[in-house]
Amino acid sequence: MTAFLKLFEKPGVKRFSVFVVLATALYLLRGMMNLILLTFIFTFLMNRLEEVIRGFLNRFLKIGQKSVITILYILLAGGLTFGGFVFVPIIAKQVEQLFHLGKKIADHPQDLPFFDVITNVFGDFKISAFFEKGFNFLYTYITDFSTFSIQVIMSLILSMFFLFEKERLIQFMNKFKTSKISVFYHEIAFFGRKFSRTFGKVLEAQFIIATVNCVLTTIALGIMGFRSYLD
Which whole-number Å values give the CA distances from 78 to 84, 96, 154, 157, in the listed order? 10, 27, 16, 14
Confidence of residue 112 (pLDDT cuts 50, 70, 90): low
Q: What is the DSSP letter of 198?
A: I
φ, ψ of residue 118 to 5 degrees: the values are: -65, -45
Greatest C-alpha distance within the chain: 82
Q: What is the pLDDT of residue 127?
A: 59
Q: What is the pLDDT of residue 214?
A: 82
The per-residue pLDDT for range 56-83, each reduced to its tens digit, is 888 888 888 888 888 888 988 888 888 7
The per-residue pLDDT for range 140-177, each reduced to its tens digit, is 777 777 778 888 888 889 988 888 888 888 888 888 77
Find out whether 40 and 192 touch, Cβ atoms under 8 Å: no
**pLDDT over 60 at 122, yes or no:** no
- How many angstroms separate the CA atoms of 129 and 183, rounded? 59
φ, ψ of residue 200 to 5 degrees: the values are: -65, -45
Question: Which of 66, 43, 68 is closest to 195 using CA atoms?
Answer: 43
* Structural domain spans, the chain: 34-230
pTM of the model: 0.70
